[in-house]
Structure 1
Amino acid sequence: MAEVMTNLSLKQIEEKFLVSTKTGFLIDCSMVKFPECWSPFEEIAAHLKQYVEEKSIRRKIEELNGHLCIPEDKLQQLCLHKILTFLTSGYVWQDGENDVPKRLPRCVAVPLTRVSDALGMKPILSYPSMILANWQKKDMNGPFDFSNLNAMYQTPGGNGAEWFILTHVIIEQRFAPAIKAVIDAMKYSTEGQADDAALVTALNVIPNVLSEMCETFKKINGGVEPAHFYDNLRIFYTGWGGGKEPLPEGLIYEGVYEDVPKPMKGGSAAQSTTLQVLDAALGIEHEGEEKEFLDEVRDYMLKEHSDFCKYMRNESSVRNYVEHCENLDVKMAYNKCINAIQSFRKLHIHKVVQYVTTPSRRENRNMQVEAIRETGTGSTPYLQFLNQINKDTDACILPE
């Protein structure tokens, strides 16, 4: 068993890595206020759907003044990243794959890249800005569910955009108890602190958490119709570059990167920290292209969350301990975790087939989003990637 390099308390972990045992990786930005100079940007983001439908979004963005100072406060920076990336998505994909601009105006490109650098993130709409920092409760004392939540900003594409966002917000919140569980599991499988009973208790939390995440995921059908998601919503979560039309080399961010096109991956569930943390804590390994992709998408996470994944991968000896443990209860609890992760990943595959594969085969599908027909918004051949990730998870079951 390896010794823990840094004995961080749960409170220290929450503060250092911006995680919470109540809200998981969600960041509450609902009360953040900006200086008045950013109001024009906020106004356009708040009416993004309307301006895209009116085909006026590009003109309105090009009229903005981007010569502004980036705030120093972390939450303000994250909110600014959210606003600027929603504007970028609307600007680029206003007409689907038709007449796509090759350049993002300086007034958005410069502040966006600056705030992205400050956060250690990428200048594109990604999971942290679209999901983790994009929610607010209607009643602060009310439940954390669809009836009591709003998305602060929505992508264009009509009905279903908010429900899609909130489904993922609630999934993230349901993960929260697993934060303490993985920290406890790591602690009680470490030399000098090993405790089989406490380890089993910690591990038993994880299948229950994943079950609640699955139940929430299934509710996506209640507000997002598959064909509508494929035809109207999905394009706004898409990246550019990688040889993929209509921006095979990437997007030019005017005034930065020497005006050379930059490829960027679009927002995807792989940018959620939840399963990457479980993989790291429980010793689930991936190889080849799948590992490369998962490593790369951590650059699209909030830096603190990416660092938390690295911390768990470096410090956790859970799998090694369980492999050498003679206590059958410990092995059974560990395998239940692996089975629960596999169940969630199978559900994800089912939803991808339902919302992407099946709609993509319709004769009357939207032909203006054809370039992303065979790939995920994160630029991977999505079914191949998801199936291999699931196989890797299944391979981690230990003999009992």
Structure 2
Amino acid sequence: MMRTRIDDLILYDGKGGRLESASVLFDENGIVAAGRGLKDAQAETVIDGKGLTCTPGWVQGHTHIAVDGLPNMQAQVMRDDTEAAVMASAARNSLRCLKSGLVAVRDMGTNFDVSIKLRDAINAGKLLGPRVYASGRVLCMTGGHGYYFGIEVDGADEARKAARAQIKRGADLLKIMATGGGQSKGMKAGVPQLSYEEIRAIVEEAHHAGIHTAAHAQGKEGVMNCLRAGVDSIEHGVTLDDEQIELMLKQGTYFCPTLMALWYVIEKGEASGIPPYVVEKCKIQAITHFDGFTAAYKAGVKVIAGTDAGTPFNYQDDMASEFIKMHELGMSVKDVIVSATRTPAEAFGVADRTGTIEPGKWADLTLIEGDPEADLEAFRRVKMVFKGGQLVYSNENGKDVFLPVL
């Protein structure tokens, strides 16, 4: 087994720790050692890491891997009406994820269950891409948010059967559409859609199968339905208040705020081609969303970094903007890194294998130029990405180089 050692790094371990002049030693079996005093350790490949920062490999907590960030998300999903078209977009976007420092992504909805198939193709070495935690198709009410790439259910029995079907297809998690959303035409964002009983049936089946659930939930009633039903992760949560935050803390619920999904819609506006109904709904959501995120973070809610990539102008290779926005809203740089490394690993049930830099964990590493505590723009300067100890992406003299794992 060929060992690699990278010296003279700034090292963030994913647990909130930071160490200068550090080294990391690893191979394809995992991380061997990390810290100071390793320069004499045997390694076939030695890399000078001076000027670089190393963190555990970043995780995108909420993406739609087959969607490209066009002004009208719903139109693209409905236009790409063949499995081949959806898979082509997903494969292309997988490379974009790698170049932005992402070693893993949690896909939160693709038509034709493409994210499950993409995951299997990457794991088999047929495609190059990050680790994929795949939900496949979302579960929604008839005509509800995301119906155009989902399974429509009405009643607890139908919800339970659809959940079992997605588990049979190999889903890593079940994505629940609990409320209306900003991107769907003809519905009010935040209005409850799936009922408590329907959500509870889905959660029960997921937990019986040993997988987690995540819910698109924007209004208070819908969020409370999810929390009372035992959903593991609240996505968006644009109206969080003290009552919701208190229940999330009590139950250990994770929160993926997807700040940039809202921000880009408001910033770009109707002039960019975003449908007027989307812009109007996002402006209303912004009144409470950013303050709610800050309150949840300060209270100690477990935050997963995620962008909702695929929504308007929210590209698959732009994770850095979410990091910067989280910091602007009060999150420390160290906690930003934890939110993209250890916390998602815990939420996805793989913290024993990844999420931190320590011996025995997978050698999933993201290296950037500069120190983000001194310069937030360092998050955009990704230099190398290692997945399972193998170099899969590097930026050499401003050029992207992808190295397929054979």
Say which one has the larger Rg: 1
Higher helix content, 1 or 2: 1
Could you tell me the TM-score, scaled by structure 2's length?
A: 0.28
Could you tell me the TM-score, scaled by structure 1's length?
A: 0.29
Higher strand content, 1 or 2: 2
